[in-house]
A and B are shown apart, each in its own frame.
Chain A
Amino acid sequence: MRYLPKSPVERQEMLDALGVNSIEALFSSIPEAYRLKKPLNLPGPLSEAEVIRYFEARGAENSLGYSSFLGAGVYSHLRSVVTDAILQRGEFLTSYTPYQAEIAQGTLQAIFEFQTLMCQLTGQEVANASMYDGSTATTEAVLMAERVTGRRRVLVARSVHPEYREVLRTYAKNSGLTVEEIAFGVKGTLDINGLKSALKEDVCAVVVQSPNFFGAIETLAPVAEAAHSAGSLLVVAVAEALSLGLVKAPSEADIVAMEGQSFGLAPSYGGPFVGVVASREKFVRQMPGRLAGQTTDQNGQRGFVLTLATREQHIRREKATSNICTNQALCALAATVHLTLLGKEGIREMAEQNLAKAQFALGELEKIPGIRRSFPAPFFNEFAVELPRSVKMLNAELLKNKIVGPFVLGSAYPELSKHALVCVTETTSRAEIEKFAGGVKAALESPL
């Protein structure tokens, strides 16, 4: 086997050195009855070329050659080849969690830079070294708010990503937290009056997403004011992190939970992505996950270490702030490299292109009789429209033209059964948008 560096002779030499006759002897501590008597029934072994052929064949059974107008928490953006070149350096790819700081300064400094970039984007004072994704980051942010406030009621906007809310419910169920949902208003943003009437002195966190699941940008100041006046923390989830290139940082938030997939990570059928929790500095000791901090060595030279580890499971066990151990470090590195490549001008230009293309797409769709924008709130690269007929039927028609249509909002919001969530990024060409609009028009004109 090509991955194994031993010849049969060497194996025998090693067995001889151990004074045993056969490899079987080394497994003698496993009761005989439980030792497998025959080989596992697994496909393979495959050579490298066969492995590649297998996955190429699977790739050909997917959506190659289709244009897509799906976002809803996972976005297609340009990625420089430089990012993958750096990620594939074995020194980053094949290293472990940087517990031995002297020989992990590369990873540690990169995490420190990641934390800095995340603070700059979110307007928060501290950011952690990553969480699994935006959904678990949001959940962990709520658990953090619970620890800070000692309260157990959570108010979450219905306009937060439906799957983020599902994850929150899964975790909350057994943590003694009660989760209540706050409706969205006609603008597509949080119903502030609904929030105010639900807010009491027992609420640990108010959770909103911005841009929210409908693409609408929330007005955070009044939400923060309402939350804070009840002594609650404001948790802001960000699922499309690129929006922060053009949209004000959610600095009113006490905790920001962000999905960083837009920064150099491919959609990859849902993962691996990179979540992050950022917050005010005074809450740092309640933060989940790893943190890299700056220090010096005995010669006074600057260096970095994992720090404040007394929050973590390997030290605190059942009293830890979270059970997270393995995080998404390499994905955080991808985001760091990607954002460094984009830089101050690049992220703004990319964000501007998203806005311009989404506005263009909305304009094209609004020309079609029977289509109207669902919500008037400002949006970034995603918006909802109401159609005169079922979105599923429309999508089936679009598919015939090699177009993956918009997200069917009715699948998560029964009251929005004829509404579609359209996403357009800088990777969508004008021609694709026009073809899409043409396809929508034709589909709506065709007899039922």
Chain B
Amino acid sequence: MNEKIRKASRHTNQNEGLIFEKSSPGKRAFELPPLDVPAVDASKALGGAYRNEGVEGFPEVSEIEVIRHFTRLSTWNYAIDLGMYPLGSCTMKYNPRVNEYVARLAGIATEHPYQPQELSQGCLKILSMLEKCLLEITGMDAITLQPAAGAQGELTGLLLIRAYLQKQGNPRKRVLIPDSAHGTNPATAVIAGYEVENIRSNADGQVDMAHLHEQVNEDVAALMLTNPSTLGIFEQQIPKIAEILHAHGALLYMDGANMNALAGVTRPGDMGVDVMHLNLHKTFSTPHGGGGPGAGPVAMKKILEPFLPVPILVEKEGGRLALDFQRKESIGRVRAFGGNFGVLVRALAYILAYGPGVRQATEDAVLNANYIRKGLEGTYDLPYTRPSMHEVVFSDAIQKKHGVNTMDIAKRLIDYGFHPYTTAFPLIVPGALMIEPTESESKEECDYFIDAMKAVAEEAEKNPELVRTAPHTTRVRRLDEVRAARKPVLRWKPSVKRSEAAD
């Protein structure tokens, strides 16, 4: 490894089998208090529905084995807590520990969604406070906290648009989506009952206005725009885009995945956006937890408010809060109960910790991205040169000449103690390296990252094989994905069963 690199690499760890392979009959890791009512003969009480034997294959282990098993597994993961996690578009920022603490408080974690509203004023105040904060940050008029994640927020937003247009007599047929968009946008549009039309980006990475003009007509329900785009570039034409859509009776949806570039600096609501979602697990620091849970609140302009999912939060006389389920024009529910409340608690804790200082986080995020861009420009190809916001997208064009692609570089970065950036996205950049450092990285960590990226570029030139076969320091090497997909093994089975199944 390059001697200039100061970042320590991670130690390797022992092997650990599947929990099922450690099981031995009669061991247990959990004991219940004794039953304080008469025992019941379950076979009698349940009749034909009775499960004669225990759940076949369930593990039988002790408490220390559970702790060791999952602790060992955990050491095989990279995490924000270990270092920089520059996944573009994912906003992997620090997840404050106090947020975990407050989400688990008695009186917060213990509450049942159907308990009387007079016994839920604390929960409702949290929701109300979060609603107000998010409306202030986005510049919108109304909001729902119900969607469980960004993709569900997108669906909620499109259903609101559909209901609004339907009320005017025609829900329309098409949704326009720029070619730089996240895959969830087109997948969502289809569930909302729309056909998808792609809009090209121009040479600057902005929406191709000529193409937009060509495509927009009275059949179009909405355009879904990510701003800043997935190139990390602010879409300067956004007020104009809104104007064009509105002139045709269509609405502007904004994918707020990249709100971390805007919070405190500018507000989508002021720029003509009609409806947008926020990813609380991105901009508002709730932990990704290996893939979720998230929360995808949807903020909107007044015109869409009548169609909000039920229930909505209302303030009664004397400041009492209540849930209103009686909304004639509502799009309905997108999820049972109120939403991912525990995630909403964490997001509010984050906002309260910053207050108006949330702007400082945005500034630092943009500063870090530009600092890394400056450090790597020339070493890596920069296909779009407009000013970067919170992330920067390079391509592997220079390294490709040596037979090294973005995935190889990403894998080699692991050997230098970093999580890779996002590879091969956005699709409009062949061989993309999408880097989002977030505000959580110090100057020192950014410098280490630049060092490592430069070292990999040098290796790509001088010893491409080393990069192509990376990572070299991880517990497992590159995994055979083709084999995984060709003959999927999606669960453990006892070996006896496996040999039977082999025939």
A-chain residues with CB within 8 Å of residue B61 when the two chains form the complex: 340, 343
> Judging by beta carbons under 8 Å apart, are A58 and B123 in contact?
yes
Complex CA–CA separation, A209 to B156 (angstroms): 26
Interface residues of B in 229-249 (CB under 8 A from A): 233-234, 236, 239
* Interface residue tally on A, bucketed by range: 35 or more
Q: Looking at the assembled complex, report how far the CB atom of A97 sits from the nearest CB atom of chain B, in whole angstroms.
A: 4
Closest to A292 in B: B490
Closest 7 CB pairs of A and B: A59-B107, A44-B355, A330-B289, A270-B337, A90-B81, A174-B193, A329-B291
B-chain residues with CB within 8 Å of residue A176 when the two chains form the complex: 193
> Judging by beta carbons under 8 Å apart, are A132 and B352 in contact?
no
* Known A-B contacts A271-B148, A356-B37; A74 and B294 likewise in contact (beta carbons under 8 Å): no
A-chain residues with CB within 8 Å of residue B116 when the two chains form the complex: 395, 399, 404
Query: A67-85: contact bitstring with B at CB < 8 Å (1 yes, 0 no)?
Result: 0101011101010101011
A93 interface residue (CB < 8 Å to B): yes
Query: A97-139: contact bitstring with B at CB < 8 Å (1 yes, 0 no)?
Result: 1101111111101111101110111000111011011111000
> Judging by beta carbons under 8 Å apart, are A107 and B361 in contact?
no
Complex CA–CA separation, A429 to B37 (angstroms): 9
> Judging by beta carbons under 8 Å apart, are B488 and A271 in contact?
no
* Known A-B contacts A26-B387, A134-B336, A163-B336; A96 and B85 likewise in contact (beta carbons under 8 Å): yes
Residue from A2, A355, A404 within 8 A of B119 (CB atoms): A404
Closest to A218 in B: B49
Interface residues of A in 1-46 (CB under 8 A from B): 1-6, 10-11, 13-15, 17-18, 23, 26-31, 34-36, 39-46
B381 interface residue (CB < 8 Å to A): no
Complex CA–CA separation, A342 to B60 (angstroms): 8
B-chain residues with CB within 8 Å of residue A171 when the two chains form the complex: 155, 191, 334
> Judging by beta carbons under 8 Å apart, are A30 and B266 in contact?
yes
Residue from A58, A117, A298, A315 within 8 A of B58 (CB atoms): A117
* Known A-B contacts A93-B289, A378-B45; A297 and B334 likewise in contact (beta carbons under 8 Å): no
> Judging by beta carbons under 8 Å apart, are B485 and A308 in contact?
yes
Q: Tally B residues with Cβ within 8 Å of A.
A: 197
A-chain residues with CB within 8 Å of residue B215 when the two chains form the complex: none
A94 interface residue (CB < 8 Å to B): yes
B-chain residues with CB within 8 Å of residue A401 when the two chains form the complex: none
Query: A44-73: contact bitstring with B at CB < 8 Å (1 yes, 0 no)?
Result: 111010111011111111111010101011
* Known A-B contacts A167-B334, A323-B155, A327-B292; A46 and B355 likewise in contact (beta carbons under 8 Å): yes
Complex CA–CA separation, A336 to B305 (angstroms): 40
Closest to A143 in B: B191
Interface residues of B in 276-301 (CB under 8 A from A): 279, 281, 287-294
B57 interface residue (CB < 8 Å to A): yes
* Known A-B contacts A95-B79, A333-B290, A404-B119; A63 and B476 likewise in contact (beta carbons under 8 Å): no
> Judging by beta carbons under 8 Å apart, are A272 and B112 in contact?
no
> Judging by beta carbons under 8 Å apart, are A269 and B111 in contact?
yes
> Judging by beta carbons under 8 Å apart, are B184 and A51 in contact?
no
Closest to A128 in B: B490
> Judging by beta carbons under 8 Å apart, are B332 and A175 in contact?
no
Closest to B105 in A: A59
A-chain residues with CB within 8 Å of residue B113 when the two chains form the complex: 74, 267, 269-270
**Interface of B: prevailing SS:** loop
Q: Looking at the assembled complex, report how far the CB atom of A336 sits from the nearest CB atom of chain B, in whole angstroms.
A: 8
Q: Looking at the assembled complex, report how far the CB atom of B455 sits from the nearest CB atom of chain A, in whole angstroms.
A: 18
> Judging by beta carbons under 8 Å apart, are B491 and A112 in contact?
yes
Interface residues of B in 371-420 (CB under 8 A from A): 371, 374, 386-387, 389, 410-411, 414, 419-420
* Known A-B contacts A40-B136, A86-B67, A313-B151; A95 and B77 likewise in contact (beta carbons under 8 Å): yes
- Given A116-B18, A246-B51, A299-B476: 16 more A-B contacts, CB < 8 Å: A28-B387, A31-B239, A46-B352, A56-B107, A93-B100, A107-B73, A135-B333, A163-B337, A246-B42, A269-B342, A272-B342, A305-B484, A337-B70, A355-B45, A378-B45, A404-B119
B-chain residues with CB within 8 Å of residue A61 when the two chains form the complex: 107, 121-122, 125
Q: Looking at the assembled complex, report how far the CB atom of A256 sits from the nearest CB atom of chain B, in whole angstroms.
A: 14
Closest to A11 in B: B367
* Known A-B contacts A55-B349, A62-B122, A378-B46; A97 and B288 likewise in contact (beta carbons under 8 Å): yes
Residue from A100, A380, A429 within 8 A of B78 (CB atoms): A100
Complex CA–CA separation, A112 to B493 (angstroms): 11
> Judging by beta carbons under 8 Å apart, are B374 and A17 in contact?
yes
> Judging by beta carbons under 8 Å apart, are A175 and B193 in contact?
yes
> Judging by beta carbons under 8 Å apart, are A42 and B351 in contact?
yes
A283 interface residue (CB < 8 Å to B): no
* Known A-B contacts A46-B353, A327-B149, A343-B30; A103 and B343 likewise in contact (beta carbons under 8 Å): no
Complex CA–CA separation, A39 to B92 (angstroms): 25
A-chain residues with CB within 8 Å of residue B94 when the two chains form the complex: 3
Query: A311-338: contact bitstring with B at CB < 8 Å (1 yes, 0 no)?
Result: 0111111101011111111110100010
A347 interface residue (CB < 8 Å to B): yes
> Judging by beta carbons under 8 Å apart, are A219 and B477 in contact?
no
B7 interface residue (CB < 8 Å to A): no
Closest to A285 in B: B488
Complex CA–CA separation, A100 to B80 (angstroms): 14
